[in-house]
Amino acid sequence: MTVIFDIASWLFIAAGAFFTIVGALGILRMPDMYTRCHAAGILDPFGVSLILVGLMFQAGLTLVTVKLGFLIVLLMFTSPVSTHALGRAALHHGLKPLLADDKQTGDVSSKR
Amino acid sequence: MRHVSLIVALAAFWLLLSGFYKPFLLAAGLGSVLAIVWFTDRRMKVLDLEGHPTHLSIRALTYWPWLIWEVVKSGWDVTKIILNPRLPISPRLVRVPTSQKTDVGRVIYANSITLTPGTTSLELDEQGILVHALTVAGAEGLATGDMDRRAAAFEAAL
Amino acid sequence: MFTAATLALLVAIGLAIGRACLGPTVFDRVLAANTIGTLAVCLMAVYGFLTERPEFLDVAIVYTLLNVLGTLAILKFFRFGSLGDPEEGEPADRPEAGR
């Protein structure tokens, strides 16, 4: 039984680490601020939550698991709030989003 | 009713964080919980349907798994976009109408949109939500209104 | 396994710090700071498991709350030029006024 839990936990942690690095890479690669928000949105609740779920499998049925679950729910609630506040503040500040009006998709990324 | 549920939630939070069951610490926890309930109710006046939406707790069990599955699906799409060397994005702004009745419902819908990778709600008002979408597919997925209907059903569960 | 997760988180934090240094606008830097905060929460949890001391989780929970509050406070300061005292007549109702 512990072997199954170990394998499941390993899979979750590996997937979480993968998505975390992909999200950080996206934050570095994306051309403007609003698109970077999307990359942060894949890293923030998604990759980090997967790592925490992996840790839950490792902890077993203890208080630590409940704390990890609470941490996941907390991240799920707070991360959209800060992302929305960021986007709204940038929009009100007058930062124009980079838009692709039915042009070729390639020239958006080259305008960095 | 709402006081009781807030007291239970705060007491569970205290026990979760402390993990000790000595009489002094339990008494301190009880005092803190009662002080917080008094403060939120009498001084801040936020202990109402909006500040502590107890009526939504049951329906969350069906809404959250669906939302998590949506997050996983679109997260995978955004991952493929980021790892693509050509970075095939076509960002656009769309205005999405909302069919929720209360402010809580609209906030739930906007937060669900933001939580899903690939779409971010930028501005929320009475008429609708201004959404920044990373791809055409993300904008079209919102335009079908599936998430809108589910959020409205979630909010209507009283 | 925990070592690998720690290394991945450190790499991600490094990339986010790169964006914080490059970021052309202040919002890019706030976004990067928020991301670093979230990654630090996860790093605390993983490090607690790595050193067999799960007490780090309590710190992680509190840090999550501080992270979102810090982000909101910074953004509010940059939008309104103040942290919005209620005596000054509710700047949140007039988004254009305080710019």
Cross-strand pairs, B92: B133
DSSP code at position A95? P
Give the range among A59-63, B138-142, C63-67, C82-86 with minimum mean pLDDT.
C82-86
Q: State yes or no: pLDDT of A26 exceeds 80.
A: yes
The structural domains of chain A, with segments of one domain joined by +, span: 2-94
Interface of A with C (CB under 8 A): 9-10, 13-14, 16-18, 20-21, 23-25, 27-28, 33, 36-37, 40, 43-44, 48, 51-52, 54-55, 58-59, 64, 67-68, 70-71, 74-75, 78-79, 81-82, 85-86, 89-90, 92-93, 95
> Average pLDDT of B53-71?
77
Q: Which of C12, C13, C27 sits opposite A89 (nearest CB)?
A: C27
Say what the pLDDT of residue B23 is: 83
pLDDT in tens, B17-58: 777 778 888 888 888 888 888 888 777 766 666 666 666 667
| % residues pLDDT > 90 (chain A) | 0
Instruction: Output A104 or B146, whichever has higher pLDDT.
Output: B146
Is residue A106 over pLDDT 50? Answer: no
Banded pLDDT at A101 (limits 50, 70, 90): low
Going by C-alpha positions, the residue among A58, C44, C76, A46 that lies closest to residue B116 is A46
Residues B75 and A42: beta-carbon distance below 8 Å: yes
Q: CA nearest B56: which of B109, B97, B11, B15?
A: B109
Compute the distance between CA of residue C36 and CA of residue C33 in angstroms, rounded to an integer: 5
Report helix, strand or coil for A100: coil
Only one residue has tokens 């390993």, namely: A10
A chain contacts of residue C57, beta-carbon cutoff 8 Å: 64, 67-68, 71
The minimum CA-CA distance between A55 and chain B, rounded to whole Å, is 17
CB nearest to B89's CB, from A19, A66, A108? A108
Upper half-sphere CA count for residue C11 (Cβ side, 13 Å): 14
Assembly ipTM: 0.79
Which residue of chain A has the CA closest to B83? Answer: A22
* Nearest to A38, CA basis, from C43, B74, C33: B74
Strand pairing report for B119-124 and B128-133: antiparallel
- Please identify every stretch of chain C with a pLDDT value under 50, giving residue numbers as ranges: 88-91, 93-99
Q: Where are the domains of chain B?
A: 2-43, 56-156
Instruction: List pLDDT tens digits, range B74-131.
Output: 888 888 888 888 878 788 888 888 877 777 788 888 888 888 888 888 888 877 888 8
